[in-house]
């Protein structure tokens, strides 16, 4: 059973202000076009679809500071995401959040952290991503906020983004795991090293196998925590399987590795919330990336081979 919850809330966040390629705002719709609703209900969950959070279009707002483009508007969206995710937890639901670019996790993780912080508990954060997302406005070469959310969740960077939900940091470095990393900026590498988060790159997965890597990850994630918020960027999967992402990089997780990671989370019984982000239907092939996202959601919620 998933963290003793049998109710799931589905929430879409069609945000594309965090990156520099349009189309990721259609990610929630692409996933809803699959059989994800029927699949979740088929696993025995009561499902509430809370629709989509309102987000501004790039044409409606100013990018502002080129070092952190659209930061003020992204913060506004993330505050609303935080409130909705927090309410889901208050009602005893497990939130499944569909992106949108990865900056939405500044809101979703804040909502989970706030709920459990009020109960005197910390959370673990499993960040499954080809990239570190540990830049700050000072270190970023692009100014794209979707490359900064993990840094802000750990309390670094712009205080306005780091304090979404009224708490900072949202998670401790020793309860945070980066899984599947294979594409890091030079300055970002040193920031990740200094942060003391657990980093499991594709090299470690190649060398040790996904099972050992998940065992190591879960030890860090569950040490003194209420459970795990998983934030899954679809670009962690090899682009031969997930072409519909904005920043594809060869050499990612294969089909079974991605599923094993989510199955391991389900098996531990401590999943608190799940983000699935960066699905871009414009770049996809026959909605295959969204369909894989649906499968991974179901694996995280406990679907088994046997």
Active site residue 278: yes
Q: Output helix, strand, coil percentages for the chain, rounded to the nearest 5.
A: 45, 20, 35
| Out of 2-6, 88-92, 147-151, least confident range | 2-6
Residue 299 preceded by cis peptide, ω within 30: no
pLDDT digits (tens, 9 = 90+) for 34-50: 999 999 999 999 999 99
Neighbours of 132 (CB within 10 A): 24
Catalytic residue among 185, 233, 238, 294: 233
Question: Which one from 16, 25, 73, 133 is the annotated catalytic residue?
Answer: 133
Say which of 16, 185, 235, 275 is annotated catalytic: 235
Examine the pLDDT at 59 and tell me if it is beyond 70: yes
Judge whether 152 counts as a catalytic residue: no
Residue 305 lies in a domain: no
pLDDT tens digits for range 248-291: 999 999 999 999 999 999 999 999 999 999 999 999 999 999 99
Q: Is 146 a catalytic residue?
A: yes
CATH code (residue 32): 3.40.800.10
Structural domain including 172 reads 7-300
- What number is the average pLDDT over the span 77-98? 98
Q: Is 25 a catalytic residue?
A: no
pTM: 0.97
Check if the beta carbon of residue 275 is closer than 8 Å to that of residue 108: yes
- Whether 306 is in a domain gets the answer no
Quick check: is 102 catalytic?
yes
Mean pLDDT, residues 106-134: 98
Q: Establish whether 172 is a catalytic residue.
A: no
- What total number of domains does the chain contain? 1
* Pairwise CA distance, residues 205 & 195, whole Å: 21
Q: Is 1 contained in some domain? A: no
Element (H, E) at 49: strand 46-52
Which of 93, 131, 152, 259 is catalytic? The answer is: 131
Residue 47 and residue 94: Cα distance in Å, rounded? 10
């Amino acid at each position: 059973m998933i963290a003793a919850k049998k109710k799931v809330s589905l929430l879409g966040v069609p945000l594309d202000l965090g990156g520099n390629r349009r189309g990721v705002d259609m990610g929630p719709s692409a996933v809803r076009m699959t059989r994800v609703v029927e699949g979740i209900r088929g696993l025995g969950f009561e499902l509430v679809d809370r629709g989509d959070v309102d987000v501004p279009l790039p044409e409606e707002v100013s990018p502002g500071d080129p070092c952190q483009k659209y930061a003020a508007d992204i913060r506004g969206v993330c505050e609303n995401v935080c409130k909705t995710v927090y309410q889901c937890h208050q009602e005893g639901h497990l939130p499944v959040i569909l992106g949108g670019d990865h900056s939405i996790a500044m809101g979703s993780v804040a909502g989970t952290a706030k709920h459990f912080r009020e109960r005197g508990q910390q959370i673990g954060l499993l960040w499954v991503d080809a990239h570190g997302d540990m830049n700050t406005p000072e270190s970023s070469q692009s100014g794209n906020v979707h490359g900064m959310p993990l840094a802000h969740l750990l309390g670094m960077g712009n205080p306005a983004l780091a304090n979404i939900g009224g708490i900072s940091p949202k998670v401790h470095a020793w309860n945070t795991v980066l899984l599947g990393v294979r594409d890091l900026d030079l300055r970002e590498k040193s920031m990740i090293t200094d942060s003391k988060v657990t980093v499991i790159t594709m090299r470690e997965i190649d060398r040790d196998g996904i099972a050992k890597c998940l065992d190591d990850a879960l030890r860090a994630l569950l040490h003194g925590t209420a459970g795990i918020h998983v934030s899954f960027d679809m670009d962690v999967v090899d682009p031969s399987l997930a072409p519909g992402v904005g920043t594809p990089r060869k050499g990612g997780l294969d089909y079974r590795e991605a599923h094993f990671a989510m199955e391991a989370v389900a098996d531990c019984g401590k999943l608190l919330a799940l983000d699935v982000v960066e699905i871009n239907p414009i770049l996809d092939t026959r909605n295959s990336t969204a369909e894989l996202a649906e499968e991974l959601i179901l694996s995280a919620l406990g679907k088994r081979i046997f």
